[in-house]
Amino acid sequence: MRSDVRRRVPFAWVIGPLAVLLVAVLIVRWAGGDAGPGAAATRSSPSTSPSPSPTPQRPPACTDGKTLAAARTYGDWSKTLVDTRFRLPATYVPPDLVPVSQAGLSGTVEVRSLVIPDLTALGAAAAAAGAPVDVEAAYRSWADQQSLYERRLQEFGPTGPATRTARPGHSEHQLGTTVDFKTKGALDVSTKWASSRAGAWMQANAWRFGFVLSYPSGQDALTCYPYEPWHFRYFGRVVASIIHASGLTSRQVLWDEERTASP
Ligand SMILES: [Zn+2]
């Protein structure tokens, strides 16, 4: 429904210039006969921007902080910046969490119900492509993240992997819209996953279903975290298409929203 589409289109002024870029990219692809199935997702124009920004600014350095994200209502799910500096409050518990089994995937972990339709479509498409996926992790509460962080700290020490594990409040998993994927039937997932059949399919196609890779390879300085080929945040198909076409990391786009929303 149209109203749904409008509700899912956030940070219009960022979308404005990125939409222009997207259109240019799609024209080039069409000219080359390679629009791809995801092109349909971009048809509803999000370009109602009143004052487009010429170019997104570089986000701040990845130092530790504890600033509450400016956009942090449950309706802001696609706009909330969560990184080493910006965080969610401990009380942030999405009200509509449901098990991923509702998307036909195994496990009892939960995501927000708004993710289910596209997660269902993604799971079905991956399986049809011979690259079936499952969910390794999804929603994680503040308390869960705190336990995980402390466990890593005890296990590996202050300079070990705990430094790569988000502190409580600083994990995108608390949003309830972020999923760690793995190959169906696998026990775990690693950085080599991207070269597996399921991992490669996800890198190429997840955006078509509204999911964006938060921590791409070699972008640590921008994203604040080392490469995680399994960690995808849901933005909805329109926004994910635009981020994908822009070549920006999701944190750069979210930072543009944060700096304009902050007083
Ligand atoms: Zn993750």
Residue count (the chain)? 263
Mean pLDDT of 178-187: 96
How close is the Cα of 178 to the center of ligand 1, in Å? 7
How close is the Cα of 199 to the center of ligand 1, in Å? 14
How close is the Cα of 162 to the center of ligand 1, in Å? 14
pLDDT of res. 159: 73
Which of 172, 182, 177 minimizes the C-alpha distance to 230? 182
How close is the Cα of 43 to the center of ligand 1, in Å? 30
Name the fold adopted by 2-55+69-261. Answer: Muramoyl-pentapeptide Carboxypeptidase; domain 2 (3.30.1380)
Q: Give long-range contacts, CB 8 A cutoff, 24+ apart: 109-113.
A: 109/135, 109/137, 109/138, 109/139, 110/138, 110/139, 110/176, 111/138, 111/139, 111/176, 111/177, 111/179, 111/234, 112/77, 112/139, 112/175, 112/176, 112/177
pTM of the model: 0.81
Return d(Cα 182, Cα 107) in angstroms, integer. 12
Q: Where are the domains of the chain?
A: 2-55+69-261
Which of 128, 130, 148 minimizes the C-alpha distance to 139? 148
What percentage of the chain has pLDDT greater than the value 90?
69
- In this structure, of 87-91, 96-100, 106-110, 114-118, the range with the lowest mean pLDDT score is 106-110
pLDDT at 37 over 50: no
- In this structure, of 143-157, 191-205, 234-248, the range with the lowest mean pLDDT score is 143-157
Enter the DSSP assignment of 61. P
* Cα distances (angstroms) measured from residue 44 to each of 1, 31, 70, 156, 202: 11, 21, 27, 48, 24
Provide CB contacts within 8 A for 244, sequence distance 6+: 38, 207, 212
pLDDT tens across 189-214, in order? 999 999 999 999 999 999 999 999 99
pLDDT at 9 over 80: no
How close is the Cα of 137 to the center of ligand 1, in Å? 7
pLDDT at 249 over 60: yes
Return d(Cα 155, Cα 148) in angstroms, integer. 10
Please give the distance of CA 254 from its chain centroid, rounded to a whole number.
10
Kindly list the protein residues that place their beta carbon closer than 5 angstroms to ligand 1, a single-atom ion.
180, 231
CB 245 within 8 A of CB 207: no
pLDDT at 8 over 60: no
pLDDT at 113 over 70: yes
